[in-house]
């Protein structure tokens, strides 16, 4: 079954993973800019990372018939030093014009600090000014509920349209409020922590399939680039129709992402 | 919330998932035993206290257990903090009165 994985960090994955994803039906990925597991020592480190996302990675994906799109930003884990973050923000507009860049992301909060929030607000303003879609990372564990609310407040204060913002890594305690405030919501599937495929399907059963998608967020940590098709199997074995699987995993991401004129599956 | 029922009949839900969750329950029991058998550090780690507080929610007869446990384990404050002690999260509210 064809699908889109709208949040996966392919720079951390092998070429074999592209091959296996293509075999499982993946036709497109979108890759947000994120933390590499260590702090970059200079803004130039980000510049090269953005070149990798906008130039090299689409070519690697194309070998397997997968369309590669990305999102550009400075991630919240490296936003604690505002002066450093602003050096990076300065050259983000140059990359927003690249053909595979869909918007600003994954921006958000990590530990809900004032510095993180200031840099988030500056990047939301940049996205609004450049009419970009926004992909939001929400904090993990005990920080998620508070961070999700602070982020939505910041988006609303900046006049971002909720329908052009996807708030990712929702769980049972945040999904209702995210959808209720008009945003799109992403569920991230992890093999052994946070949201499992089973819980993602539970959430779909409880909250419906409007403005909701699933992704693997595969990266350098314990993660599974095939967790999206594994979730399809979970939906089908519970007796959900194929149309619902296609809606969650293909039609919904296509609808949200198509708000960027650069997104195309042709 | 639209609350579509799970389309899988209840006997099949139990057949499909019981073994997996039985194993997870025993994992929790064995973890608590392991904590008891170990020594050093603080006697009442906030994470273990939070776990003790969360477990009764499983059997209080009310629904939305996953949401309510996640809320119990969340930082309930609303203002941004000046500084974080570390990049990572520990899984429970470090200042929680568990
Ligand atoms: Zn990510």
> Would you kindly state where each structural domain of chain A is located, as residue ranges?
3-257
The arithmetic mean of pLDDT across residues A100-113, rounded, is 98
Q: Are residues B32 and B48 in the same domain?
A: no
- Cα–Cα distance between A24 and A192 in angstroms, integer? 21
pLDDT at A45: 97
Q: How confident is the model at residue B43 (pLDDT cuts 50, 70, 90)?
A: confident
Residue A130 near residue A96 (C-beta atoms within 8 A): yes
Q: Which residue range is the domain that position B31 belongs to?
A: 8-38
CB atoms within 10 A of CB A181: 16
Query: What's the total number of domains in chain B?
Result: 2
Q: What is the ipTM of this complex?
A: 0.95
Residue B69 lies in a domain: yes
For residue A35, what is the nearest residue in chain B, using CA coordinates?
Answer: B87
Q: How confident is the model at residue A117 (pLDDT cuts 50, 70, 90)?
A: very high
Q: How confident is the model at residue A168 (pLDDT cuts 50, 70, 90)?
A: very high
Between these two residues, B54 and B84, which has the higher pLDDT value? B54
Minimum mean pLDDT range among A106-115, A188-197, A254-263, B73-82: A188-197
pLDDT at A238: 96
Q: Are residues B48 and B33 in the same domain?
A: no
**pLDDT above 70 for B3:** no
- Cα–Cα distance between A82 and A152 in angstroms, integer? 21
Cα of A35 to nearest chain B Cα, Å: 11
pLDDT at B79: 97
Q: How confident is the model at residue B5 (pLDDT cuts 50, 70, 90)?
A: confident
Q: How confident is the model at residue B42 (pLDDT cuts 50, 70, 90)?
A: confident
A3-257 to CATH, choices 2.60.120.1310, 3.20.20.140, 3.40.50.720, 3.40.50.300:
3.20.20.140
pLDDT at A251: 98
Cα of A225 to nearest chain B Cα, Å: 23
Q: Are residues B34 and B51 in the same domain?
A: no
Would the CB atoms of A205 and B76 count as touching at under 8 Å?
Answer: no
B55 Cα to the center of ligand 1, angstroms: 31
- Cα–Cα distance between A165 and A145 in angstroms, integer? 17
From B3, B75, B92, residue closest to A206, measured CB to CB:
B3
From A77, A172, A240, residue closest to B70, measured CB to CB:
A172
Q: How confident is the model at residue B1 (pLDDT cuts 50, 70, 90)?
A: low
pLDDT at B2: 56
pLDDT at A261: 98
Beta bridge partners of B54: none
Tell me the per-residue pLDDT of A173-228, one tens digit each, with 9 for 90 and over: 999 999 999 999 999 998 777 799 999 999 999 999 999 999 999 999 999 999 99
Q: Are residues B63 and B47 in the same domain?
A: yes
Residue B79 lies in a domain: no
The answer, for B59 touching chain A at a CB cutoff of 8 Å, is no
Q: How confident is the model at residue B92 (pLDDT cuts 50, 70, 90)?
A: very high
pLDDT at B87: 83
Residue B77 near residue A149 (C-beta atoms within 8 A): no
pLDDT at A131: 98
Q: How confident is the model at residue A135 (pLDDT cuts 50, 70, 90)?
A: very high
**pLDDT above 70 for A52:** yes
CB atoms within 10 A of CB B61: 4
> How many residues in chain A?
266
Residue B57 lies in a domain: yes
Residue B95 lies in a domain: no
Minimum mean pLDDT range among A6-10, A61-65, A199-203, B1-5: B1-5
Residue B34 lies in a domain: yes
Cα of B36 to nearest chain A Cα, Å: 24
Nearest to A105 by CA among A127, A77, A87, A81: A127
- Cα–Cα distance between B3 and A94 in angstroms, integer? 45
Residue B96 lies in a domain: no
Residue B23 lies in a domain: yes
The answer, for B74 touching chain A at a CB cutoff of 8 Å, is yes
Residue B89 lies in a domain: no
């Amino acid at each position: 079954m064809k699908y889109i994985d709208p949040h996966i960090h392919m720079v951390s994955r092998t070429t074999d993973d592209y091959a296996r994803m293509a075999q499982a039906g993946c036709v497109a990925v979108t890759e947000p800019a994120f933390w590499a597991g260590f702090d970059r020592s200079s803004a130039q480190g980000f510049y090269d990372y953005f070149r990798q996302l906008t130039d090299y990675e689409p070519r690697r994906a194309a070998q397997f018939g997968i369309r590669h799109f990305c999102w550009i930003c400075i991630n919240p884990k490296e936003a604690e030093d505002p002066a450093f973050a602003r050096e990076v923000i300065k050259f983000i507009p140059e990359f927003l014009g690249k053909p595979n860049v869909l918007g600003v992301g994954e921006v958000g909060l990590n530990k809900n600090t004032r510095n993180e929030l200031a840099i988030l607000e500056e990047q939301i303003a940049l996205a609004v000014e450049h009419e970009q879609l926004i992909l939001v990372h929400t904090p993990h564990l005990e920080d998620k509920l508070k961070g999700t609310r602070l982020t939505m407040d910041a988006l609303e204060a900046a006049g971002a349209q909720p329908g052009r913002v996807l708030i990712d890594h929702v769980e049972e305690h945040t999904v209702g409020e995210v959808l209720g405030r008009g945003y799109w919501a992403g569920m991230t599937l992890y093999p052994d922590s946070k949201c499992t495929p089973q819980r993602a399907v539970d959430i779909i059963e409880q909250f419906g399939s409007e403005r909701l998608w699933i992704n693997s967020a595969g990266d350098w940590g314990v993660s599974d680039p095939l967790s999206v098709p594994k979730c399809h199997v979970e939906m089908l074995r519970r007796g959900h129709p194929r149309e619902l699987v296609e809606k969650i995993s293909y039609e919904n991401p296509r609808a949200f992402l198509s708000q960027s004129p650069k997104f195309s599956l042709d | 919330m639209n609350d579509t029922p799970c389309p899988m009949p209840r006997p099949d839900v139990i057949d499909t998932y019981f073994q997996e969750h039985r194993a997870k329950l025993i994992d929790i029991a064995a973890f608590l035993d392991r904590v008891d058998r170990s020594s050093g550090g603080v006697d009442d780690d906030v994470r273990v206290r939070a776990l003790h507080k969360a477990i009764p929610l499983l059997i209080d007869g009310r629904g939305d257990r996953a949401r309510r446990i996640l809320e119990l384990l969340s930082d309930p404050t609303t203002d941004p903090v000046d500084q974080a002690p570390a990049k990572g999260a520990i899984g429970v509210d470090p200042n929680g009165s568990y």
